[in-house]
Amino acid sequence: MPNGKHINRARKILFSESRNQIKVYQIGSQSINTKRVKMAPKGGNDGGETPSIKIKRVGSMGDFTVDGNEKASNVYTTRKSTLIGMINWFHVVSTNAPFILIMGLVVLVSQVVYQVVKDLFPADDGVLSIETVTVVAVAVKELLIRLYRAIAESEGFEIFSPAVKTTALILAVGAWMVRRDSPIYLLSFATFKAPDDWKCDQDEIMEMMKRQKCFTQESLNFLRRILDRSGTGPATAWPPGITQCLKPKEDDPTDHQMADRSIDASRTEAQIVIFDIVEKALKEANVKPREIDVLIINCSLFSPTPSLCAMVVSKFGMRSDVETYNLSGMGCSASLISVDLAKKLLGRKGSRKALVVSTEIITPNLYHGNERGFLIQNTLFRCGGAAIVLSNNWMDGRRAWYKLLHTVRVQGSGEAAYQCVYETEDESGERGVRLSKDIVKVAGKTMEKNFTMLGPSVLPLSEQALVVWSIIVRFLLKSISKRVSPETAAKLPKVKPYVPDFKRGIDHFCIHAGGRAVIDGIEKNLKLEEYHTEPSRKALYNYGNTSSSSIWYELEYIHYHQRNNPLKKGDRIMQVAFGSGFKCTSGVWLKV
């Protein structure tokens, strides 16, 4: 017999079905019964407790193996838009358009040759020989000369048969449609997988904090509480410049080394992370470094001279005319901003390729003060990075992984938005990033504006109609309440703004792994199911908050590992990220 908790869960599912048109399927007992599973760090060592979330955890950072008995459980199925499904498959088919056009040209040439042969040998008495082929070739050449003269003298295309003219018209229209598309294809991406000696569990992290010899016991207790609630796992990566404080001194084994936050240590971290992901991404895309036309690197808090772009160009021997852009100070939203910039630059001319690198360097940015607004950064951020190879060449469609459909960026305005994530010094002069208490409110407003701009591009018409109807009803009720007495106005119904069901237009969600509260809030507001936020929770648990690159760890999980919502051709994936300033960026990709 199911207990009361399971019955209430089942009632909640049925209630959700009546509101959002969600069908419920039960496979075994998975639809109402989930378990918390402990996750062992890589190498089989025990340590660390699994955060209190209801999804199955994985082995360790970079290890996404699951129990072989686990079933693919599509417990919830949202009614999708047929029109959007047709549009998605049009995009998938359009990746083959260049080859379809080539085949069309072959058919067109064959029809012209057939017309010439029929004119020269109407009785089918031509014998295939060198002389016959020569005669046909000369006749085709004369026909093309006549075509040129006919166009120049505006005499039309009467020299061709109706079949030839029809094929030529179809090819011309098809080529025009393909060229208007201006596609941006994602050829490959790669994420950084830290070596084992970079990985630390919660106890080791707290030991590193103690060995900084700058935190009070009250601050250490606060860090421990935040760390336990953060949703990060027992094998997340810290740079060697900081983890070396866990090692004893060579000349005095009874004492430990001090953390190295120097420029050299920071540049070493950058080189290890960036060189690794760039090499893997280029190799996966089968692209040589000298084929890159645009290089964009975003790193918010570490911007040395020479730039990180110059470092990559020098290492990989890229061309001297490569366009390089180094973005800093744009926070966790910077990766999609870089993709949006690459889209604009690739759209300028010709066939071009872009390399986008997103990372954050932790070595110089460990806060050494005791103000709580600054301390949170020490518990969430970890080493990570992602490199993405993009192309605007329509011939790359068949080998691409994804096609970029939309990018939207919203910049908050006002002092609250500007100050909510702010790099400064505390009262003791220690530098760090201060997080404001208004950050949740500001993030909610910018996300609402972003989704309002994105909605018309990804939502079915029925959902957009419900949004418009909600606005009209709220406007009429507000107008009526101003014209009637307060007693009558109080009796009018209260209509909440309609939150559209983005699940009807989006199949997968990559929500920035800024913390468990961020994921929980978006899951609740968008009425997402557990499998929608599973990639974000897995990325947070296995890698921590890797800043702008976190959405690529989530896409990697969807691409390779997710079982209960497997990726298929024609699926849409939405990435959402937040950053200082305050910004909310979103991007929608199509699996091709």
Where are the domains positioned within the chain? 97-181, 185-405, 437-591
* Among 454, 496, 491, residue whose Cα is nearest residue 474: 496
The whole-angstrom separation of Cα 204 and Cα 264 is: 24
Distance of alpha carbon 187 from alpha carbon 184, whole angstroms: 9
> What's the pLDDT at 489?
82
Residue 59, pLDDT score? 36
The mean pLDDT of 149-156, rounded to a whole number, is: 57
Read off φ and ψ for residue 372, nearest 5 degrees: -65, -30
At residue 28, the pLDDT reads 34
CATH class for the domain made up of 185-405: alpha beta
Confidence class of residue 40 from pLDDT cuts 50, 70 and 90? Answer: very low
Using CA atoms, how far apart are residues 445 and 561, in angstroms rounded to an integer?
33
Give the Cα separation of 257 and 241 in Å (integer). Answer: 10
What is the enclosing helix (H) or strand (E) of 121? none
User: Half-sphere exposure (CA, 13 Å, Cβ side) for 234?
Assistant: 18
Q: Are the C-beta atoms of residues 323 and 348 closer than 8 Å to each other? A: no
Q: Among 32-41, 188-197, 289-298, 499-508, where is mean pLDDT lowest?
A: 32-41
Average pLDDT value for residue range 27-49? 36
Rounded distance between C-alpha atoms, residue 392 and residue 290, angstroms: 16
Query: Any idea what the Cα angle at residue 514 is, between residues 513 and 519, rounded to 5°?
Result: 65
CA distance 74 to 531: 9
| Best-predicted range by mean pLDDT (49-53, 304-308, 462-466) | 304-308
Q: Is the Cβ–Cβ distance between 511 and 481 less than 8 Å?
A: no
Residues 417, 548: contact at Cβ < 8 Å? no
pLDDT tens digits, 407-426? 999 998 888 899 999 999 99
pLDDT of amino acid 10: 39
pLDDT score at 68: 44
Q: From CA 295, how far away is CA 309, in angstroms rounded?
A: 7
**What pLDDT is recorded for position 311?**
97
* Fold designation for 437-591: Peroxisomal Thiolase; Chain A, domain 1 (3.40.47)
Instruction: State residue 125's pLDDT score.
Output: 56
* Residues of the chain by 3-state class (helix, strand, coil), percent to 5: 50, 15, 35
DSSP code per residue over 405-457: EEEEEEE--SHHHHHSEEEEE-TTS-EEEEEPTTHHHHHHHHHHHHHHHHHHH
Tell me which of 281 and 376 has the higher pLDDT: 281
What's the pLDDT tens digit per position in 179-192? 666 789 999 999 99
The arithmetic mean of pLDDT across residues 107-122, rounded, is 72
pLDDT at 26: 33
pLDDT at position 532: 93
**CA–CA gap between residue 326 and residue 295 (Å, rounded):** 8
pLDDT class for 6, splitting at 50, 70, 90?
very low
More confident residue, 141 or 69: 141
**Same CATH topology for 185-405 and 437-591?**
yes
- Show Cβ contacts of residue 500 under 8 Å, excluding neighbours closer than 6 positions: 455, 459, 463, 464, 466, 467
What average pLDDT does the structure give for the chain?
A: 80
pLDDT band of residue 16 (cuts 50, 70, 90) is: very low
Nearest to 187 by CA among 484, 365, 403, 378: 403
Q: Is the pLDDT of residue 142 over 50?
A: yes
Q: Specify the range with the lowest mean pLDDT, choosing from 122-131, 158-167, 457-466.
A: 122-131
Burial of 23-58, coded b for 16+ CB within 10 Å and e otherwise, reads eeeeeeebbbebeeeebbbeeeeeebebbebebbbb
At 302 the pLDDT is 93
Amino acid 60: pLDDT: 35
What pLDDT sits at residue 15? 35
pLDDT classification of 23: cutoffs 50, 70, 90: very low
- 344-373 pLDDT, tens digit per residue, is 999 866 789 999 999 999 999 999 999 998
How far is Cα of residue 295 from the mean position of the Cα atoms in its chain? 18
**Does the structure show a pLDDT above 50 at 568?**
yes
Asked if the model's pLDDT at residue 395 lies above 50, the reply is yes
Q: pLDDT tier at 106 (50, 70, 90 boundaries)?
A: confident
What the block records as the tokens of 538 is 């897995």
- Distance (Å, whole) CA 455 – CA 452: 5
User: How many C-beta atoms lie closer than 10 Å to residue 7's C-beta?
Assistant: 12
pLDDT given for residue 94 in this prediction: 66
Q: Is 268 exposed, middle or buried (0-12, 13-18, 19+ CB in 10 A)?
A: middle
pLDDT bucket at 577, cuts 50 / 70 / 90: very high
Q: Is 278's pLDDT higher than 80?
A: yes
